[in-house]
Every structure is written in structure tokens, then in C-alpha cells.
Structure 1
Amino acid sequence: MISKRAKKVKPSATLSIDTKAKEMKAAGIDVISFAVGEPDFDTPDNIKAAAIKAINEGFTKYTPVGGIPELKNAIAAKLQKDNGLDYKPNEILVSVGAKHSLYNAAQALYSEGDEVIIPAPYWVSYPDQTLLNDAAPVIVETREEDLFVVSPDQLSKAVTKKTKAIVLNYPSNPTGFTYDRKALEAIAEIAVKNNIYVISDEIYEMLLYDGLKHVSIASIDPEIKKRTIVINGFSKSYAMTGWRIGYAAGDAAVIKAMENIQSQSTSNPTSISQKAALEAVNGPQDFIPVMLTEFDKRRKYLVAELNAIDGVSCKMPQGAFYAFANIKAYLGKKSPNMEIADSSAMALYLLEEAAVALVPGSAFGAEGYIRMSYATSMEKITEGLKRLKSALQKLA
């Protein structure tokens, strides 16, 4: 019999869409996918070379559960240099991707009866990870006109005696928007006042445009730092999605609890991937601005073309590699075969009619929107937009 816990959650919508798109491709259909948040760049050669060297040198055994000391030290140095954060190695845990880091934090912090505030639009796994750990997600809907940033007033109204944590993601998946220092200071004040943890997912920190600089909420002051678990990793900034290395930094007692949990699930992260991550953080960083420059070109083109389509609007994202487009004008319209009742129906229609894969806003707690990843070639973006526009024009 399937457990009650397992029945609480649903599969990742982003991966479900991608799976169907791949099935269509396998059947010979030319599908253009805007669905998955994965850079289309290859992992830099120096990082791959470090992994090959590790294999050739026989670095293929178990490592310490929480990561090899040299990688933890390198991450600590990175956090100090880039974020102004001082963490000791025992305050850092290396895990099997940032998603694993998030899950470890949920396991270590949440209990039955706890509430976890999650601003929407949210990354698809936050509510389900909360449910899997017997806590209740409290969804706070942000507004497009506020650039999908949760306000202090909204946050204060959502706080109760049961509130255990707030989950932040900035720059955001799916919206591409971020929080500036002033907004983070207001959130920090509320968290400290109410003794609430902040789970700060900063996986897209290096992917910001127009001269914007990332600020970690943990850097605001020592009091919020005590209550913050910083989550980050290597997947997005270094095109290392398949290598599965993420990390968490925070209070030593929480990190130790997370490590104990990890010891009973995955044990250590892959030894070879840890050596690759070490090279990523210590080696040349010139790959990142090259990738960011290309993403920036795609960002501007995609958003301009979306806004040129009747009934579609899209604000210019500040970071990550997603455009979050408003398609509310099309809800209630029909094709010969279906009614576009919601964003899920729109995603299905576009996949079947135009062979364009994207993710419905409902997967992120924001009905009436679609998320399009521009982590794909300009050629595919151009063709995909043509198909999308043609398919929308067929709706009446």
C-alpha cells in the first residue's frame, strides 16, 4: 500500500512536460522545448578535465558524508568573497544537487504542525518538499505589477505562531525577478522578530543582467544569518546540471542535523563530481560572463517578441533564464479540439498543435501564465516563437 506521505505529492511539472516532449521527439516529431531549466552550454573543459583526472587517479571511493574538506573550504572562500558571508567548514554541507540541499533542510527543520511560507510563483518543489516533511505550505500570492516580489505587509499577515520558515528564491524560477537589499532587509526584520528560519535558494545568483548585483539575505546582519540556510550549487552557473552538486550553509547545529539525514539517504555526493566542483569554484570564471552575455541576447529577443503577440505580455526578467508571460487574454478561447480553460490546457495545446513545450503557470502557483526557458539556441527560440504565435492565432 502506498504511504499517505507519497500520496501528498505530485511529479515535477517541468520534468513531466519534458518527458512528453521527449516522447514526441522519439516518435519523429520536431519539438522545440522551452520547458527545462538547463543551460544549453557544455560544462567548461577545465571542469571536465578535473573529473577525468580524478577518475584516472582513482578518486572513486567514498568521501566524507558532507563533502571533501577542500571543497568545503573552497565554498567557504567563495561565500566570503562573493557574498560577504563568513562560514566555517562545519557550517557547510555538500549534497547531491541544490534540490537535495533543500530537501535536507526541510527534513531537518520541519515537523508536523509547522507552517512554511512560500511566495508564489514558486519553484515547483517547495510545496511538495514541505508536504513530504509533514508541514503545511502557506502560499502567498505576489503580483505581477510588484514584479512578483512578496511585500512586508503580505509576509506579516501570513505569519502565525506555527510559522517555521520562509522560502525565498532569487533570482526566481519561474519569474526571473529578484529581491534588492531594501526588500531583503524588510523580510529579515520580520523573520528575526518572529524567530523564523529563512531558506534562501540562491542557485541563480550569478545570472543577473543590467548590472544588478546579488545580495544574500544572510549578509544583512548577524541575527538573520543565524536563522538563514543558504542554498546554492553548480548546476546553473557552470552548466553542471548532471553532475549533481549543491550545498547548504548555515547554523552548525542545523547543518549537522542535515548531514546526519544525508548519511542515511545518499551518503556522500559523488566523489568525481566533487573534484569537478572544486575546479569550478577555484578555476577560471570567464565562462560565466560569456554564457550570461548570450542569455542576455536571448532574453531581450524573447521578451520583445512575446510582447509583440496580441494578447500576450511579459515583463523583462532581471535574472536566471526564464520569461514568465501573461496569457490570461487567451483563457476561455477554443481550438477545434479543446478549450483553453487554464494554463495547463494552453501548455498541452501548444505541445500538440505547435510542437512547442513550455510549463504552465499553474505548476508554479500562478494561473494565467506560462514559463519559457531561454536556455536554448536563438535559432530554436526564433522558430519556437513563430510556431507559438501561429498556434495562438488559431484560437477563437
Structure 2
Amino acid sequence: MDKVTLIATTTMGLEAICAREIKDLGYTEVTVENGRVLFEADLSAIPRANLWLRTADRIKVRVGEFKAFSFDELFEKTKALPWADLLPPDAEFPVIGRSVKSKLFSVSDCQAIVKKAVVESMKKKYKREWFDEDGPFFRIEIALLKDVATLTIDASGQGLHKRGYRALHNQAPLKETLAAAMIQLTTWDQDRPFADPFCGSGTLAIEAAMIGQNIAPGFNRDFVSEEWHWIGDERWNQARQEVEDLANYDQKLDIMGSDIDHRSIELAKGNAMEAGFGDLISFKQMQISDFRHKGSYGIVVANPPYGERLGERDEVEQMYRDMGRVMALHDTWSVYLLTSHEGFEKLYGKQANKKRKLYNGNIKTDYYQFFGPRPPRKEESPTI
């Protein structure tokens, strides 16, 4: 097996950002669909995609895709796929499933049929009647959409948003993949100040530090496909060596997180320490009305409270007014804010240059983008 079709699943609205990340890794056969990005690649892409993609939820290997209008058709077409090329005889292979707008709507029946078909396929190849399933883990998914069945194997294990640094979080943590996308949608670079005045458990600040030093988001965790024999240790070792070679640990960064809640600040400090940025990111307890930064041409990226809970709305709306006044004092800065509050611009006192629909979990939000002036170009040193 030289080439595979990989599927990077994403939160709705992040597909184009994920596709750009995949292309930046050097893969050109990329197709963007709702909630996922497909790309053709060699086997080394499995470890590289898992390690490097900041906005993908999971990496899946597509085993087959076909139309299935009956259980018999699902069984026979699944059985015909080359399962024994992927699953060793001791593989543990549970089957999960989902079905949307398809004749085969019973997910539990589809799971059972796929499991039976895979077993029958492996019996034929391995010449045995029983599989103990006490070896490497291969989670198979049968996904039916409008009668098209897609069979995949999850190559990530835990979701890719679990970077390994956030042992502790507050009540409403921002998912790491969304935080990374929010940063990538800004004009921030390593030479400009970065601030999150509603930092919570520090996710945006930590993701910014990882981006700023070109540290792969998966550098500090394991993946289920590390145990797959047909990928092999050499490909994983090469991918991890690439991660180490490309990281720029000496890159200086100006990153600040602040929050009104002292418990959040302690959480953020602990998470930053776990990620290796304890000395790089500064965290301060501060309400938004007191926010000040001496730097110019900085970037604020924030996920403030939305005021959706009963009794919070008045307080949150005053917070938005205060932020508008404070950021008016930082007239060279750009501001990027995520909220579901439909009256945000009026409260902030300014119309956004651009808005983008994003989903924070199940909450439909707008990402408001207020562009500041471009920083002046650095003068090049004269050559001698």
C-alpha cells in the first residue's frame, strides 16, 4: 500500500483553514467538503497530519466508499474491501456508526453487519475462525449519508484538540482547534504583541505560543496509529524528528493573557507551564476596563462571555461597552472577538470590518474582525 485517502474531520466553518494547513504540509490532492477535508497522500502523511494539523478534529483512513440501499449490499461490499491488509489477526476493531438521510437508518444494525463482514473477510485471508482482538486498536466507522456508505479507520485515537497540556480547565473551555483557527484568521505574526483579555484557562495564549514558535500541536501526545504495523516506527520517528527540527524554541514572543477571575489565571499559568511556556506567556488578573498594553500594532484575540445565562446579560453587555472604550485607546491594534451576542457591534461602538460564522461547540457565533493599521515595514540593514 503506497497511497491512502485520508479524511481530516473539522468543526463546521473550519474546513478551508484545515485545507490550507494540509496544503502547507505539501499535499496537493485536497478536496473540501462539509465538516471534512479529503486528501490523497503516502503513508507518511498519517503521522505528519496527526502531529501538525491544528484545526482538524481527527485523521481517518478511508477504506472504502459505495452506495448501499440494503443490508445485503452493505455486507457484501464491506466484505470485499481489503481489511486483512490493514488489520493484523490480533487487531481489536470495534465498529461505530451514524446514518443521515439513508434507507439504512438503524445504526446498530449497520454496525453489526459491518463487524460481521470484516470478520468474514479476515477469516478468508487468515484461514482461522476466531479472533481474540487483544492487539493494536483499529476503530472502524460506518457513516451513511444519503445512501452512500463510507468506511474509515480512526488514526488519531483521542481527538486532536487534546494537545496534552490542558489538564485543568474552567467551566466553558474553548476547544484548542477552534482557538488555533481563530489565531490563523488574524494578521498576527511573531513580531507583534498578542493579548487575550478573557483568557480563561489560557488556551488562546498557549495556541499562539505554539504557532509563534512553530511547535506542532501533537508534539506532546500519543496516537493510536503508532501501533499500526503497516505505518511502522521509521515513519513515526521521521515525523517526530521533523517536528523537532522545525520548532523555533528561541523565537521571542510578546503574549499576554488576562482575566477578572483569579482562579482562571492560576489555571492558565498551570496549563502554560505544562505546555512548556511558563516563562514565555505573562498572565495577569485584570478586568477589561483596566486593560492596557504599551506595545503598538498588537492583536487582541478573545472569546468573551456571551451573556447567554440568566442574570449575566447586563454584566456582559457592560463588559462589551468597556472593551470598546479600552480598545479605542489602542488605535494601532487589531481586535478579533468571538461571541453569539447579536447586538455586539452596537455595544462595542464600532462596526466590524469583517464577520465570519463559526461554531463554538453547538453555539452558532460570529467572529468579529476589527482591522487596525498595518505596522510599518522594517528597514532592511544595508549590505556591505
> Which TM-score tier does this pair reach, normalised by the shorter chain?
under 0.3
Larger % of strand: which?
2
Whose RCO is larger (CA < 8 A, sep 6+)?
A: 1
Higher Rg of the two aligned structures: 2
